[in-house]
Structure formats: structure tokens, C-alpha cells
Structure 1
Amino acid sequence: MAQPKVLFVLTSADKMPTGESTGWWLSEFAHPYTILAPHANITIASPKGGPAPLDSNSVAHAKSTNDSVSATFLSTQSSLWETTVPLSTLTGHAGEYAAIFFVGGHGPMVDLANDPESIALIREFYSADKVIAAVCHGPAALINVTLDDGRHLLEGLKVTGFTDSEEANTGVKVPFSLQQRLDQASGGGFVRGEDWKEMVEVGRHGKLITGQNPGSAAAVGGAILEAIKA
């Protein structure tokens, strides 16, 4: 039997509005990919397609924490983020996939939060009753998604993502508070655990999966795997 297909989405943004370098976060791609790759046919996409920028800070973080999964991924899988598929080519294909997953890093706050093709694709995945997942800053892709009836995708649901207190420790000047935007979009449904500790929220009958921070990436990957096997 053919393996289920999972779409990973990376940011194309390499700069914050301040000019500071950004991109996607290494461990938030490496851990879910390593968990899912043996069980799924994975496509890697980004708004622009082609090379997607890796945040160099995440490489340093992986080294400082002796993250062997990320180290192996970095040294063996570079073709995955150097040859991403443009999101524009995937519109209309949500039915072929079991899940869509948004990798974090500050970059999604710059492009995916307002990208019309990403928003349309998320709406397609929702309408097809597919799994929608994101980790850390990846949930920024969800903050402006409305459904055909005008309701927000997150309305009445529990959701998590990078918190204000965690953000304060990064030293990065962000264009908005992800915690506040997720809380507004969900109608007060933002939930959180301890700063920097694993926290995953699964809702919508297993079809909405969000993780709070980099330490939640592996658990998000495991939750996606459980959901697509169900």
C-alpha cells in the first residue's frame, strides 16, 4: 500500500523587517522529518520555491545542545531545503495529502502569515478534513486563515505556539506577538506549558496539531504520525 503523503512548508523569508537574518529552524524540520520519513512520502515546499533559508542561529543552537538528530539531518539532507516546490504549484492538490506541516523559525512571521497561496492551501486542507500542523512560529501561517463561511480556522479551538515570555528571551524584534494573534484568532483558545518545555496541543479530532517551541518538534512529528495512521 502506498505511503500517505505529507507536505512540509518552509519559509522563504531570510530577513526580518529590521534587516536581521532569519529563516526556518533546524530542529523543527529535522526531528519531525526524521520521525515521519520512514512512514510517509514527504514533499517540501516554500512560498518562492527553490532554496529555503536556514536560520544560522538554529545551527549554532543544535551544536550547543548536542542535538545529534539535527546534526545528521544538516549533513545529509540539504537537498530537501535547496530544491523546495513553490506553493503555487500545490493549490488544488490538498486531496492528495494526509497532512500539511509548517516548520517554525521566525521567517513564517514575515511571509507565511500573510501569504495568499499558503492561506488558500490551508483552507483546502481544512475543507478536505486533512491534518494541519505547525510548531513554534509555524502557527503564524494560521493567524489569517478564514473559512468559506467567514469564521476563522482557529475559532473555538485550542492552539499553542511560541509564547511572549519565550520571545522576550530571543532578543529578536518581531513584527507582532504570535501568542496574542493566536489567542485572538481562536477566541481565547491559546494554551501554553512551561517556557522551553515540550508542549503539544491536539484538537479538531486529531486534525489540528500545534507545538509551543523547538523542544516540542519531535512530539509534533509523533502526533502527525499518529494522526495519519489513524
Structure 2
Amino acid sequence: MASERLPSRPACLLVASGAAEGVSAQSFLHCFTLASAAFNLQVATPGGKTMDFVDVNESNTRWVQDFRLKAYASPAKLESIDGARYHALLIPSCPGALVDLASSGSLARILQHFHSESKPICAVGHGVAALCCATTEDRSWVFQGYSVTGPSVYELVRAPGFAHLPLVVEDFVKDAGACFSGSEEAPSRCRHLQMSWVFPKTLPRDTRPAWPLVELLGGFEDPS
């Protein structure tokens, strides 16, 4: 699925979960609306599965209904995505990320490409779990040494189903040699991987088309 394409715009890949646990409607709304204002936006899910939106409320239900009627409402298959075609990667808050994205070999391949090319990656809220798939053959994490912000164990333990989570992102990140901050204690802007950037100090010239994503989402605090 892609938003309306303009040839002069850079391309952004928005990866979402296709699991039954779903995608935060409010987070997806903000990510899709803001990013599509500056990018040719492509949405992809594992297997091209339709997204199940959760946390739908009075403020976003009309948008969700209208979105589902659009001609581009069917996500592309994540397995067919070539990361080299995109300047930036965006992952909204997805409770389902732990189920499918955190173990996705296809997403791991894309993340490894983005990391090697120093392209910006932004994961929001529960979407940070998707980054856990990016391990190498020796099981080391490609984002070792980065600073990651996401839902803390304290936040997760208050939610139903905590005991059945396939992994706890905070534990994974710390065990992998990265730093973790709970979203409740995080600043509104994070240097790297609530808003979580994988972002080098100095961007190569060929990644500059992605800068609008930084400006659009840099001050956005996930409402989910």
C-alpha cells in the first residue's frame, strides 16, 4: 500500500504488524498523516496482512473508516520489500510487533541494510519491539551501543498478558549491550532508537532526503 506518489518526494517505508494484537490506531494515524505529507509512503506488513487497529476511539474512528476505503488500503508484503528503495523507515506503535515483527527475517534484512547505510529509523512505543529481529549470524544485535526508548517493564507489567509475552524489550536491549530508557522518563526527543531513533550523529549526503521525517516526527510524542 502506498500513499499518493509524487516523483520529487523521497520514499519512506512504514512497517506495521499484521498480528491479531494489532496496531495502535492513534499512533498509525499520526505516523501516516505526518510522514505522507513529506514522503512517498509505502506501508508493509508480514505477508501483506490487513492491519487490525486497536484503541479506536471517537477521535480516530472516522479516520480509520475512511482509511480502509482508500484504494491503497492493502499493505505490501514485507517479504518483497527492497530496503534500498527507501530513504527512511518508520514503525508505529504496534502491540502485535512482539508476535510477528520481532522475529521477522524480512524486517531484519531491511534493518541491517538501513543500519549499514546509516539511514534513519524511527520506532514508536510498542513498535520498538520490531527492532529486536535485527541480529547477526552470531546473535549479536546490530544496534548494540545505541540508546533505545520504549515501554518499560513497569508499564508492561500493568497490562494483561504480561506473563505470556514472547520477550521483554527492555531486557533484550540491555542484554544486547544497548541502553534503555522507559518512555515515561524519556525526553520528547531521543537521539536514537515512545519516539525512538536509530540515527547517526552525522548523516551522509545521500540520506538527506529523509530529513523531513526528522523535522515532522522529532517532536511528536506517541499518544498511544
TM-score above 0.5, yes or no = yes
> Could you tell me how far 1:151 is from its partner in structure 2?
4.6
Q: TM-score, normalised by structure 1?
A: 0.73
Supply the distance in 2 between the matched residues of 1:227 and 1:34 (Cα, whole angstroms).
10
CA contact (8 A) 1:105 1:138 kept: yes
Supply the distance in 1 between the matched residues of 2:153 and 2:188 (Cα, whole angstroms).
15
Supply the distance in 2 between the matched residues of 1:136 and 1:77 (Cα, whole angstroms).
22
Supply the distance in 2 between the matched residues of 1:82 and 1:40 (Cα, whole angstroms).
17
AA matched with 2:182: R
Supply the distance in 2 between the matched residues of 1:179 and 1:80 (Cα, whole angstroms).
38
Q: What per-residue deviation string (whole Å, max 9, x for no partner) do you get for residues 1-28 of structure 1?
A: 71111100111111xxxxxxx1111111
Supply the distance in 2 between the matched residues of 1:81 and 1:28 (Cα, whole angstroms).
19
Gaps of 5+ in 2: 1-6, 200-210, 218-224
AA matched with 1:32: C
Partner of 1:97: 86
Supply the distance in 1 between the matched residues of 2:157 and 2:72 (Cα, whole angstroms).
28
Supply the distance in 2 between the matched residues of 1:192 and 1:223 (Cα, whole angstroms).
26
AA matched with 1:11: S
Supply the distance in 2 between the matched residues of 1:165 and 1:132 (Cα, whole angstroms).
25
Quick one: which of 176, 179, 182 aligns to 1:189? Answer: 179
Quick one: which of 96, 104, 111 aligns to 1:122? Answer: 111
Partner of 1:172: 161
Matches within 5 A, 1:61-76: 62-63=57-58, 68=59, 70-76=60-66
Q: TM-score, normalised by structure 2?
A: 0.75
Q: Look up the SS of the partner of 1:8 in the other structure.
A: strand
Cα 1:13–1:40 shift into 2, 3 Å: same
Supply the distance in 1 between the matched residues of 2:146 and 2:172 (Cα, whole angstroms).
14
Partner of 2:207: none
CA contact (8 A) 1:26 1:54 kept: yes
AA matched with 1:103: P
> Could you tell me how far 1:188 is from its partner in structure 2?
4.4
> Could you tell me how far 1:109 is from its partner in structure 2?
0.1
Partner of 2:4: none
> Could you tell me how far 1:172 is from its partner in structure 2?
3.0
CA contact (8 A) 1:25 1:105 kept: yes
> Could you tell me how far 1:226 is from its partner in structure 2?
2.3
Supply the distance in 1 between the matched residues of 2:62 and 2:188 (Cα, whole angstroms).
24
CA contact (8 A) 1:122 1:145 kept: yes
Supply the distance in 2 between the matched residues of 1:177 and 1:112 (Cα, whole angstroms).
14
AA matched with 1:191: S
Asked if 1:9 corresponds to 2:15, the answer is yes
Cα 1:224–1:72 shift into 2, 3 Å: farther
Cα RMSD of the aligned pairs, angstroms, is: 2.9
Supply the distance in 1 between the matched residues of 2:214 and 2:63 (Cα, whole angstroms).
19
Asked if 1:157 corresponds to 2:157, the answer is no
Supply the distance in 1 between the matched residues of 2:63 and 2:215 (Cα, whole angstroms).
22
Between the aligned residues of both structures, percent identity stands at: 24
The number of aligned residues is 195
Q: What per-residue deviation string (whole Å, max 9, x for no partner) do you get for residues 9-60 of structure 1?
A: 111111xxxxxxx1111111111211121111100000110412222xx11x
AA matched with 2:23: W
Partner of 2:23: 24
> Could you tell me how far 1:202 is from its partner in structure 2?
2.1
Q: Look up the SS of the partner of 1:12 in the other structure.
A: coil
Supply the distance in 2 between the matched residues of 1:165 and 1:138 (Cα, whole angstroms).
17
Q: After the TM superposition, list the runs of 4 or more consecutive aligned residues in structure 1 that deviate by more than 4 angstroms.
A: 147-151, 197-200
